[in-house]
Structure 1
Amino acid sequence: MNFRNLISAAALGSLFLGSSFNVYAGAKPVTLTEPELQEAESLFKAQCSSCHGTQRLGGMGPALLPDNLSRLRKTQASDVIANGRAATQMPAFGSILNKDQQSLLANYIYTQPKLSPQWSDENIKASQIINHQPSDLPAKPKFEADLMNLFLVVELGDHHVTLLNGDTFEPIHRFKSRFALHGGPKYSPDGRFVYFASRDGWITKYDIYNLTVVAEVRAGVNTRNLAVSSDGKSVMVANYLPNNLVLLDSETLDLIKVYPVENAEGKSSRVSAVYNAPPRNTFIAALKDLKEVWEIPYPSSDKSKSKEERAPKVRPIAVNDYLDDFFFDPDYKLLIGASRDSAGGQVVDLDLGKVTSSIPLPGMPHLGSGITWDYQGKQVLATPNLKEGKVSVIDMKTWKVIKDIKTEGPGFFMRSHEQSPYAWVDVFFGPNKEAVHVIDKNTLEIVKTLRPAPGKTAAHVEFNKDGSKLLLSIWDMDGEVIVYDANTLEEEKRLPMVKPSGKYNVWNKTQYERGTSH
């Protein structure tokens, strides 16, 4: 069954509720004259709406509203419009728009919308779509394959997902997704169900065995990502708009609780991301506009209690800087985070509830894509850099940088596998986007640079279950997923796909394989 492309009439009708938009404190709003407003709306529709939504509520790109721009000054906004933004897919409009038009657009995104968006508990409940009760669906899959060695490939170009056999690398099924999936799908512990989040807030539960959508709900207006608990019973959703975390029952995505994200003084914040912390039986969320990390235990499974009684309380942890990006050690005792505007990282001991170390990391480390391995008797963390052409390798005892490995440009994704001697990193940004480096984990040297599709972006590696094969994406509308032998580094197969982005192996994601994203 295809995913629905429109929210329900009841939910749509209640998205705009007048001028009472006080979800959080953001940037100071700007007022434009009516002629300026009309011209700005026309420019925005022509140049920006395809990514940011016609109502500025977000799509492929984030929402552009004054309440959502608290950390972006107008002067910075003008610069981003003219020159694009490093480490994002925001293009430069300096050659398309003149200075006055750039300034007008920068002012426009700081105006309050005519109709202010809201998304309440009632809106969430009204949006829920239940296609099947999971207990009514057969527990036997409709196809033959190693169920723990399946891949899901997200094809951003035409908003589809391909289910791929991880042994034969043959497609099993291709289905339509919601618009602009974001944050990576997350599996139930047994790998049967997968949960998707779209930029515009839709959460979808899909039954891989029966190749069908179980349930959907719109948890927010602009969503970052979701996490699934290790017991498979709950889902936590991180939102940019409104500023909250939304806790759902995994069965049919019933709402358990909405957590408004604000500190003790009432200042509110977007959520950078939320992740499951398996050994802790908690969800961990980093906040975009507050210098805090939140830890929230899984809800009680006792359904004789009310939903409010089942929902646990938040444990806030103060940190030294905003966390736009973060990573966990394999034991989930330590959180390593960084801010987009910072010159380094910080280490948060989750047991102690405080920052214990700092890491000198200039540029913009992409810790969310960091991986760990053992090197010369010590555990190391390696992270690409979104601004500089290097991979930093860090001793996780001393938090000293052991080596900066020079690359052909800033990278976005880094991946490996416990059984592989190599780590792979792309060169996502800049003129060398076609290149992918293979790093020997024992020598910390680049042993091979691949250019599988000259002129096209090559990015995002994912290994199969035993680490013997891997998939690499060519991020293009006329794209491909390329299969490599993980040991010989030889190409074995190409599968045509429409701008394939992430590939997600069931075993790696459910077992939290060291070397992949979690």
Structure 2
Amino acid sequence: MIKPSQFVTTALLGATLALAGCAAPALRGTGDLGVVIERASGTVQIVDTTQLKSIATVPGLGDLSHASLVYSRDGRYAYVFGRDGGLSKVDLLKGVVERRIIQAGNSIGGAVSQDGSLIAAQNYAPGGVKVFKADTLELLADVPAEFGTQGQRSKVVGLADAPGNCFVWSLFDAGEIWVGDFSNPGAPRIDKYRNAGREPYDGMITPDGRYYLAGLFGEDGMAMLDMWHPEKGVRRILDGYGKGQEKLPVYKMPHLRGWAVAGKYAYVPAIGHHEVLVVDTETWKEAGRIAVAGQPVFVMARPDGRQIWVNFAFPDNGSVQVIDVETRSVVKRLEPGRAVLHMEFTPRGESVWISARDDNRVVVYDTVSFAQRVVLPAAAPSGIFFTTRAGRTGF
């Protein structure tokens, strides 16, 4: 027999759960969700890669003209870095901005720490790195990118997460690579590696977190730091890959963050040349070159490593080429639309989503047949980011 006091307690509990249920988002996982940046409207679309559709549009994210994002460990929250220095925490299940701060004058990206507790932002103006608590966006550390005798500030590029709650980044103006250990965020240890090369423009870290590579805009080659043995300093690889060749105009900086690895080989854009360079990751020496239609921007491997997909800078930015890794030859050319800015593979690689900014659409292709699966409208779309990045180093 239920006593009156038990009945009241049970009723109150039921009412509380009912109210909580009304306020809560629909029960679902986040593993097949993603975000499309709409740079023209300062909004993002939340998309479902299983249903091949947009499920929400989130406004109020400021200047997204060069936006990127990272995910929380559980894939529920996207941390969006805007060109206006904004850092926004977006709830994918509720479709809202949970918190937004302006943390710099010009920001171009960031990273999340190994344990998911820290968010780091890389800033052009003022040059440096800021580190925040992931849950509240409370500022924990501010590391100015100062160099030289006059205390100049460098633009920061190539920020990546590394094991041990470390971040590693490059200083474009100083030609340096810095590693920050934020295991104690209030008192980080910063190690500086000078003479990395002229004008590092972007960086990436291998999927195991061991090697950090910075591409060089001011010279042909890449700078590499072994994170297991940083005492060895920065090593130059692919030195002078364009020797004897006339460098072509670069209308858009290549991006390295896609980190195309297939088997033991890495595939990287050759800056100023219409080629993809093949690098043996055991020796870090050039193992081949693949001629492509233009200056590569993103060079990305399908998750199974069987294909490499490449998009290009102006004037070839309406095309995407597909490279077969066995033959190292281009096997398909696609025309998704004007101004292709980004590509993203679904978790197991059966589809690729491609943004065509000037045609205001995202085109989804089958990666085996190359048939179009769906075309989704979007307002000048640029970056496409799926939640599978949450569990990957360097993404």
Structure 2 length normalisation: TM-score?
0.84
Q: 2:123 aligns with which of 219, 236, 239?
A: 239
May I ask how many residue pairs the two structures share in their alignment?
Answer: 363
Looking at structure 1, the residues matched to 369 and 255 of structure 2 have their Cα atoms a distance apart, in angstroms, of 28
Looking at structure 2, the residues matched to 493 and 325 of structure 1 have their Cα atoms a distance apart, in angstroms, of 32
Q: Which residue of 1 aligns with 2:391?
A: 511
- CA shift at 1:233, angstroms? 1.4
AA aligned opposite 1:427: F
Q: Which residue of 1 aligns with 2:360?
A: 479
Looking at structure 1, the residues matched to 131 and 237 of structure 2 have their Cα atoms a distance apart, in angstroms, of 32
Contact 2:322/2:330, CA 8 A, preserved across alignment:
yes
Looking at structure 2, the residues matched to 338 and 271 of structure 1 have their Cα atoms a distance apart, in angstroms, of 15
AA aligned opposite 1:287: L
AA aligned opposite 2:31: M
Change (3 A) 1:367 1:171: closer
- CA shift at 1:141, angstroms? 6.4
Larger strand share, 1 or 2 = 2
Contact 1:183/1:197, CA 8 A, preserved across alignment:
yes
Q: Which residue of 1 aligns with 2:289?
A: 404
AA aligned opposite 1:486: T
Change (3 A) 1:479 1:385: farther
Contact 1:230/1:276, CA 8 A, preserved across alignment:
no
AA aligned opposite 1:512: R
Looking at structure 1, the residues matched to 108 and 317 of structure 2 have their Cα atoms a distance apart, in angstroms, of 25
Change (3 A) 1:372 1:139: farther
Q: Which residue of 2 aligns with 1:58?
A: none
Q: Which residue of 2 aligns with 1:168?
A: 51
Q: 2:260 aligns with which of 372, 379, 385?
A: 372
Change (3 A) 1:261 1:434: closer
Q: Which residue of 2 aligns with 1:260?
A: 144
- Give 5+ residue unaligned stretches, structure 2: 1-19
- CA shift at 1:318, angstroms? 2.5
Looking at structure 2, the residues matched to 260 and 348 of structure 1 have their Cα atoms a distance apart, in angstroms, of 21
Q: 2:205 aligns with which of 323, 328, 333?
A: 328
- Write out aligned runs for 1:59-458 (5 A): 142-143=25-26, 145-176=28-59, 177-180=61-64, 182-263=66-147, 265=149, 267-273=151-157, 275-300=159-184, 310-321=186-197, 322-353=199-230, 354-360=233-239, 361-362=241-242, 363=247, 366=254, 368-369=256-257, 371-375=259-263, 379-419=264-304, 421-430=306-315, 432-453=316-337, 456-458=338-340
CA-based RMSD: 2.5
Contact 1:298/1:312, CA 8 A, preserved across alignment:
yes
- CA shift at 1:156, angstroms? 1.2
AA aligned opposite 1:503: I
Q: Which moved more, 1:235-244 or 1:160-169?
A: 235-244
Looking at structure 1, the residues matched to 362 and 262 of structure 2 have their Cα atoms a distance apart, in angstroms, of 29
Change (3 A) 1:173 1:367: closer
Q: Which residue of 2 aligns with 1:115?
A: none
Change (3 A) 1:465 1:323: same
Change (3 A) 1:212 1:183: closer
Change (3 A) 1:317 1:388: same
- Give 5+ residue unaligned stretches, structure 1: 1-136, 301-306
Structure 1 length normalisation: TM-score?
0.65
Q: Which moved more, 1:352-361 or 1:235-244?
A: 352-361
- CA shift at 1:181, angstroms? 5.0
Looking at structure 1, the residues matched to 386 and 138 of structure 2 have their Cα atoms a distance apart, in angstroms, of 27
- CA shift at 1:446, angstroms? 0.6
